[in-house]
Chains A and B, each alone.
Chain A
Amino acid sequence: MSSSEHTSRRNRRFTRRVLMLGAGQLGLFGLLGWRLHQLQVLEAPKYTLLSEENRINMQLLAPPRGLIFDRFGKPVASNTASMRVFIVPELTKDIDDSLRRLGAIIDIPERVRARVLRLARRQTPYIPIVVGHNLSWEQFSQVNVFAPGLPGVQTDILSVRQYHDARDMAHIVGYVGAANKTEINEDPVTRLPGFRVGKSGVELGFESRLRGKAGVVKLEVDATGHAIRKLETVPSQPGRELVLTIDQEIQHQAMERLKDLRRASIVALDARTGEVLVMASTPSFDPNDIIDGLKMDQWATMTEARDDPLTNKAIRGQYPPGSTFKMVTALAGLESGEITPRTKFHCNGGYAYSKAYFRCWKRRGHRTVQVRKALKESCDVFFYNVAERVGIIRLSAMGRKLGLGQVYNFGMPLQKPGVMPTPGWKRAALGKPWYGGETIIAGIGQGFVLTTPLQLAVMTARIATGREIVPRIVRPATHEVVDEPKVLDIDPANLELVREGMWAVVNEGGGTARRARIPVAGVEMAGKTGTSQVNTASSGRKSSELEWEQRDHALFVGYAPADNPRYAVAAIIEHGGSGSRAAAPVVRDIMTALIERDPLARPAYVASDAVRKTAARKPRREEG
């Protein structure tokens, strides 16, 4: 082959191969085009979404929590601003230096400084670390003015719950705290730093009303998270105001009255509507100490403190009602027909049942006793007789009819139900059969019978009005129609007989609570004392001879005015000794305060947002 043939072969080969190369390039560009098609056409929706997620930062706006007022508009829980300063480690090169400069404006204790530095090392650097809170306006504005010279330092204003008359209202209002995991899952706004949710009391019971709805700010952010501009703002809806049925004034008086007692509780209701006017439980606590979340040592002190200050004994204290239960036994007997108003039993100071002997509190006995006298003098033997004839099932049923042995769904969480025992209940709870003797002592509110002060107040209101009163703690909103409570399925004549007995307890010679007469002319109280045994060994011995823990609980329930019941009150003084001596005077004083002040005669406060709502609704109605 000549060199020119070689050359032309080489040239043809070049032509061939360069065209192959071109084809190869075309093919690889086709690959690029295919990939572009995949990304930009087929998967475009997915990436568009991701790009929006990148670009838009949704910030939740915490709604201001609804305010809480007492019956007459006195603020009970409100919100104050806490000005905070924190540091974002990511935004500063030298956190030590930033802290030092900040230290020139606000005081940073060494302990806080060490904590900030420790957290800065441990956490993801873009999580803000609180350096100080509750700054003064002066400090707050200084930090903001010098912000350019304080890299990484940021400020915000946090809404903090504040409780007024805190110790008086603590058990009713409750307190707020940081949301737990389940609460966070239900509403993302609770995840906001510093956001608080109700943890007890009406703060918990009316959480959904108080919380409001979160707003949203849509921000366009760059890759470093800096906001470029605001795209959209949906303002938050503030939580609704809550007007309690509580009269703070009398609540305070009740708390003062109980102050010197170790463990006691008193509940006062509007006997006709069930509105709770007073719900006092002692000892109490200051919820302002808890909400901070920082003062863990104080929390520990409170939970471990003597006499459970955190427990609302009005709804969580379960006590044998003692003789205050005798109205239940009497009504059970009368309603079942086992006794009539004229049925007589003889009391010689005790009652033999089976092999046991049950004493009357009066060793000498009450001789011949009818219902009215039995209530007035609180004769145990009479009610032993009735209980045996009626039986535990009908007795418990009457207790429940009068409001005992149940919890009320009225926005007070963590109520205890008490016990209205039945053989079935005992078998389920204790795995043991029911004994007849247990029915006998249930007749005088001992044994398995347990009630809460709230339930006793409800019972008293039901007896006083003959209606199915249920407790309410929050005033109805203006547009809410509150039905009048249903009439109880109890013969009014029987109720009237029991009321007469209760009137005699206080107002007739020989009644057990003569000292509970109200020092207001023309107003009489009807009531019933109760002294419930804590320990059988203590029976018959004087309280003053016993250790405090061994003494009897003192109870009293009453309503007034006797001829036109408006207020129903129940009180228990734990280990207070005798009901007539320890509990009756307390009820008398609170009842007197109620009668004199007469909160039910005054117009109650109407929530300001409720006023706005009605005003806003009116023009719409006219349109229609």
Chain B
Amino acid sequence: MFTGPVATPKLSFAEKLLAMNWVFVLLITALASVGAAALYSVAGGSLEPWAENHVIRYCLGLGLLFAVALIDIRVWVRLAYPVYVLALVLLILVPFLGVDSSGAQRWLKVGAITIQPAELMKVALVLALARYYEWLPAKHISNPLALIVPVAMIGVPVALVVLQPDLGTAVLFAAVGGGLLFLAGASWIYFVFGITGVLVALPFVWNSLHGYQKTRVMTFIDPDKDILGAGYHILQSKIALGSGGIMGKGYMRGTQSQLNFLPEKHTDFIFTMFAEEMGFVGSMSLLTLYLIVLMAIIYMALRCHTQFARLVAAGVGITMFVYVFINVAMVMGLVPVVGVPLPLVSYGGTSMITLMFGFGLVLNAHLHRKTWFQRHEIRII
């Protein structure tokens, strides 16, 4: 009863491999290589302990990416809601069964493995929202009733991570969710009202808080206000960036990073280290590379024929953008310190898995851009 303008192509495994967007794979491999090189420098010119692991993880991540990309998109449509529910349940369980890690409960320990439900939710939220709008008939998009479910889909996980507390992830969920509602076609009015509402409500909410609650919020926004804490880190980061100058201090010659003035230089502050050693030229090149990846994702989203595929691709794009923007803005002192890694460059297994899963979905959407869904495939559950 519902057929698109183009027939769903049937692709064999080999054809799928050929049709994969290899340029994109090359671009993200370039990013991961920059990461490996930076981690090699951070370790003072050694593969241990980060660079080698980073490469291994990226290779494993590539396997995951191909697997995710090659699976038929209809499987992802079917899995979207169950994965979201699973992620939600795990997120709810965190406060009860979570493991403490530096003051915030973010991890769940299941047997020998620890998982971060918030990471799973990053993918699940994109899938679930895309799945919802694939189902929602186009004429109802701006219907207020049709907004209840997606807003709840976004709001519940945001509330849950705020409780952990994890501002970075909450912002990410809100940005990705809001971005997807926007891309799905919800009326401008909602966004105008929504943003105005939040801005108007903020002072009232703030004033109604008790003193200790305010303190809690302040520490959550700016965990270490003293000059020797976060302030010191940001100052040292700015010194590192600025002293890099136009051409940089040279690979493995960044005094700020090599002499440990920089905190977390293999994870959250790796951009600083890179910029110190490579200078303005290097840091702008890296930003440009990120921009190319982001534009490539938008290009792929534009070529998709189904709402699900294009929203999944765009959603992963927004996730990537929020990561890069918050991280780089943070190390330059434009936004408060929040622990957000630099995609594919920062050392860290969890974010690598999440991102490679996401990129796999982008490639999957691109590969299946002309795959139409049957009505029964996109029933509510």
Residues of A within 8 A of B302 (CB): 15, 18-19
- Decide yes or no whether B246 CB sits under 8 A from chain A: yes
Q: Is B11 an interface residue (CB 8 A)?
A: no
Complex interface: chain A residues within 8 A of B344 (CB) = none
Q: What A residues does B312 contact at CB under 8 A?
A: none
From A221-229, A295-303, A392-400, give the one contacting chain B.
A221-229
Residues of B within 8 A of A43 (CB): 242
Tell me the complex Cα distance, A228–B185, Å: 59
| A17 and B243 alpha carbons, distance in the complex (Å) | 39
Is B251 an interface residue when CB atoms closer than 8 A count as contact? no
When C-beta atoms are compared, the residue in chain B nearest to A15 turns out to be B302
The answer, yes or no, to whether A39 is at the interface (CB within 8 Å) is: yes
Binds A, one of B83-91, B212-220, B279-287: B279-287
Q: Which of A15, A31, A54, A221 contacts B239 (CB 8 A)?
A: A54
Residue total for B at the interface (Cβ-Cβ under 8 A): 47
Contact A10 B280 (CB under 8 A): no
A25 to B322, CA, bound (A): 9
B372 to chain A, nearest CB (A): 12
Interchain CB contact (< 8 A) of B259 among A9, A46, A228: A228
Please give the distance in Å from A17's CB to the nearest CB on chain B.
5
What separation, in Å, do the CA atoms of A561 and B279 have in the docked complex? 84
Which of A19, A21, A36, A223 sits near B332, CB closer than 8 Å?
A36
Q: Is the interface of A mostly helix, strand, loop or mixed?
A: helix
B interface, CB within 8 angstroms of A: 137-139, 141, 179, 182-185, 236, 238-246, 255-256, 259-261, 275, 279-280, 283-284, 287, 290-291, 294-295, 298, 301-302, 307, 310, 314, 318, 321, 325, 328-329, 332, 334
CA gap between A145 and B287 in the complex, in Å:
53
**Listed A/B pairs (28) with beta-carbon separation below 8 Å:** A6-B139, A10-B185, A10-B307, A18-B314, A19-B302, A21-B182, A21-B314, A25-B291, A29-B287, A31-B329, A32-B329, A35-B329, A35-B332, A35-B334, A36-B241, A36-B283, A39-B242, A40-B245, A44-B243, A44-B245, A47-B238, A47-B239, A51-B255, A54-B239, A54-B256, A54-B259, A223-B236, A223-B260
Neighbouring B residues of A41 by C-beta, 8 Å: 245-246, 280
Cα-based distance from A52 to B279 in the complex (angstroms):
16
Task: For B141, list chain A residues within 8 Å (CB).
Answer: 10
Residues of B within 8 A of A3 (CB): 137-139
Are the CB atoms of B238 and A14 closer together than 8 Å?
A: no
In the complex, what distance in Å separates the CA atom of A415 from the CA atom of B294?
83
Contact present for B185 and A223 (CB under 8 Å): no
Q: Decide if A432 is an interface residue (CB 8 Å cutoff).
A: no
Whether A224 pairs with B183 at a CB distance below 8 angstroms is: no
Indicate if A147 sits at the interface (CB-CB under 8 A): no
Q: Chain A: which residue is nearest B276 at the CB level?
A: A51
Q: Using known A-B contacts A10-B307, A223-B260, determine if residue A25 contacts B321 with beta carbons closer than 8 Å.
A: yes
- B284 and A9 contact, CB distance less than 8 A: no
Q: Separation in Å of the B19 CB from the closest CB of chain A?
A: 22
Determine how close the nearest CB of chain B comes to the CB of A267; give it in whole angstroms: 61
Are A39 and B314 interface neighbours, CB within 8 A?
A: no
Q: How far is the CB of A170 from chain B (nearest CB, A)?
A: 49
Q: Is the CB of A54 within 8 A of B242?
A: no
Residue of A7, A15, A17, A32 near B328 (CB, 8 A) is A32
CB-nearest residue of chain A relative to B294? A25
C-alpha gap A121/B307 in the complex (Å): 66
B295 to chain A, nearest CB (A): 6
- 10 residue pairs, one from A and one from B, having the closest CB atoms: A47-B242, A51-B243, A6-B138, A40-B280, A223-B260, A10-B138, A222-B259, A44-B245, A6-B139, A48-B243
Q: Is A54 a contact of B238 with CB atoms below 8 Å?
A: no
Q: Which residue of B lies closest to A53 (CB)?
A: B239
CB B191 to nearest CB in A, in angstroms, measures 11
Q: With A and B bound together, what is the CA distance between A32 and B333 in angstroms? A: 11
Q: Which chain A residues border B294 with CB–CB below 8 Å? A: 22, 25
| Contact (A55, B259) CB under 8 Å given A18-B298, A40-B280, A48-B245 | yes
A9 touching B138 in the complex, CB below 8 Å, given contacts A21-B314, A36-B287, A37-B280: yes
A28 at the interface (CB under 8 A from B): yes
Q: Are A221 and B242 in contact (CB under 8 A)?
A: no
Find out whether the CB atom of A22 lies under 8 angstroms from the CB atom of B242. no
Would A14 and B239 be within 8 Å (CB), given that A6-B139, A22-B294, A32-B287 are in contact? no
| A-side contacts of B138, CB under 8 Å | 3, 6-7, 9-10
A33 vs B286: C-alpha distance in the bound complex, in angstroms?
11
Residue in contact with A50 in the complex, picked from B243, B284, B321, B332, CB distance below 8 Å: B243
Nearest CB of chain B from residue A203's CB, rounded to whole Å? 42
CB pair B185 A14 closer than 8 Å: yes
**Minimal beta-carbon separation of B226 from chain A (angstroms):** 15
Shortest Cβ gap from A44 to chain B (Å): 4
